[in-house]
Amino acid sequence: MLDPFDRSLRAFLPKAKPLLDNNTLAFNQSAFRIANVTQSSLRCYYQTIIRYDGDRGVRMNNTIPLELPATLPYDFYQVTCRNSSEAIIYKNLFSNISPTSVHRDNPVEEESPQHLSVILFGIDSASRSSAIRRLPKTMNILRNLQAYDFKGHTKVGENTFPNMIPLLTGLNVSELHLPRRPYMDKIPFLWNNYSKNGYTTFYAEDTPTWDTFNFNKRGFQIPPTDHYMRPYQLALWNVQKMDYPYISDYCYNGMSRHSLQINYLKQFLDLYKRKRRFALSLINVLCHNTEKNLQFGDEDLRDFVQWMDNEGHLKNTVFIIFGDHGNRISGIRRTPIGYLEDRMPLLQMIIPEQLKARHATVHESLLVNTNRLTTHFDLHQTIVDVLKQSFSEPSIAYREGKVRGISLFKTIPLARTCRDACIPDTYCVCDQTIEEPTSHALAKTMSETGVQMLNHIMFSEDRCAKLTFHKTTSVRRYLRTFQETGIIQTAVSLFRNADVLDRYIVQFQTIPGFGIFEATIGVYLDGGIRVEGDIDRVNKYWNQSACIQDGALLRAYCYCVKKHRVN
């Protein structure tokens, strides 16, 4: 049975034969013959896509006649062509990189061996292991290009936002002191530092309903970077809702959605070739819901990396391909391997050969660090060092007197612990676990404790059903270790309370809705049983929580019994 992505490609690719070659707006003569029209009988016009009300929406401006071939000085626009009978025979949304659409306070300067560009290419929910399984061609070319493969890279938050904030700011989400449904403009993102230092900036995501800074948030009042793809993606979303031909979650007019975003990034790299560039491209659609779809991006990702090398874009560039976290809600997540993969995202890095030649310690440290415990805080500090050219003396970031992040250009201590690396206990993978029977009375008691916590969190929300314990699906116990005092404890508990007898990772299912949740449970010497940290939802909840408009936690926990009333 074909998966939805494969069905989409097979359905749309044979049918879509564009009359205009993408972005050049030049005639595709073979497509004209197939469509049985002549150039003289064709009447075309365009509408630019304009952002309004911050990130909330887009609109089309007035239609303007278009003489083909043509080049338009806009980032996003829609072209429509009619035949002599006024029937629409062609309609397409275009992305483009136009320097005339950018208004900067300072000019873009030349890149050099000292002023390196930074390209961050993210894949939502991609773990290192899933990339090995699903992206063999991409991983092979990364090996050929001598990319550093970080095997101990570990997430520091549950989902995308609390991992991207450390990467892009060096801070935890709690340190931002954000109000409810906040705007993102005042957050100290790295791209602002780069822009002030003569870099042109780029940010793109491919799913506007899930965008990192828009999901349960308001996004940006003004575009955060020089080139910002959200208006184009919103326009795609709008035509998809109208049942536009040849469009789905995965495809648009014969192109995969991830390819559209890769092409936009390629246009950016080409237009500003040999200029200082900072780009963040985060692809959601490939892997967000299921890791199986990741394989359909393998050739496109391989070709993109190969293109960057062939076109000289890696000469003075630090190229980073990464995951924010592993897959959190697919079937594999409910296995012991999936538990680890969720916590260990992909991280590969390519640096220029001339940087290795000028700073041998950089290469040596990166090589050692591929087998050390690393986080997004460390990656942030590395990107800070690229901007500051701190290669001979890589930096360490401190927060309230504690080490927060260590540049990957500096050798990370072998004995580094999760506590040292600011990894919450819930996401630490340094300690071994052993499977325990789900039939024991303790398993049920721990599961019921988790259910009680869920209901406590939703206590004041009358739109959500009270959850009831259904069954325990998995129990794993942290292996014990000895402290000098002789007290037997779990390895994780050494970082916390001395009165913990054991800690467990418990998965349990609730009704209504059959949600599957995972919690770290502490069993204390005084007989107490307590939930440690957050409880994670590890299966899909689709529209079960549609009545909840705000709050990521409630959306994951709530089974709606009352409809949301809009004032």
Tens-digit pLDDT profile for residues 199-222 = 999 999 998 888 999 988 999 999
- Say what the pLDDT of residue 37 is: 55
Task: List the domain range (segments joined by +) for residue 510.
Answer: 433-557
Q: How confident is the model at residue 255 (pLDDT cuts 50, 70, 90)?
A: confident
pLDDT over 50 at 1, yes or no: no
The pTM assigned to this predicted structure is 0.85
Q: What is the pLDDT of residues 22-61, one digit of tens each?
A: 555 655 554 444 445 556 677 889 999 999 999 999 999 9
- Say what the pLDDT of residue 59 is: 93
Region 378-405: mean pLDDT is 96
- Say what the pLDDT of residue 241 is: 66
- Which CA distances in Å does 152 have to 129, 161, 182? 11, 21, 33
- Say what the pLDDT of residue 34 is: 46
Domain match, 337 and 460 both: no
pLDDT over 90 at 191, yes or no: yes
Region 279-299: mean pLDDT is 87
Q: How confident is the model at residue 480 (pLDDT cuts 50, 70, 90)?
A: low
Q: Which one, of 114, 73, 66, 92, lies nearest residue 386 by Cα?
A: 114
Q: How confident is the model at residue 316 (pLDDT cuts 50, 70, 90)?
A: very high
Domain match, 129 and 278 both: yes
Q: What CATH number is associated with residue 335?
A: 3.40.720.10
Domain match, 127 and 275 both: yes
**Contacts made by residues 536-541, CB under 8 angstroms, sequence distance 24+:** 536/158, 536/328, 537/329, 538/328, 538/329, 538/333, 538/334, 538/507, 539/329, 539/333, 539/334, 539/514, 539/515, 540/289, 540/329, 541/513, 541/515
Q: What is the pLDDT of residues 63-109, one digit of tens each?
A: 999 887 788 889 999 988 888 888 888 888 999 899 888 888 899 99
Residue 107 lies in a domain: no
Residue with the larger pLDDT of the pair 299 and 256:
299
Domain match, 210 and 65 both: no
Q: How confident is the model at residue 563 (pLDDT cuts 50, 70, 90)?
A: low
Q: What is the pLDDT of residues 141-163, one digit of tens each?
A: 999 999 999 999 999 998 899 99
Residue 109 lies in a domain: no
Q: Do the beta carbons of residue 430 and residue 418 sit within 8 Å?
A: yes
Q: What is the pLDDT of residues 402-443, one digit of tens each?
A: 999 999 999 999 999 999 999 988 888 888 888 999 999 999
Q: How many residues make up the chain in this entry? A: 567
Domain match, 415 and 460 both: no
- Beta strands in 138-223, from DSSP E residues, in sequence order: 148-149, 200-205
- What is the number of structural domains in the chain? 3
Biggest CA–CA distance in the chain, Å, is 90
Q: What is the DSSP letter of 566?
A: P
Residue at a domain's end among 427, 447, 466: 427
Domain match, 165 and 62 both: no
pLDDT over 70 at 8, yes or no: no
Residue 261 lies in a domain: yes
Q: Which one, of 124, 156, 128, 167, lies nearest residue 378 by Cα?
A: 167
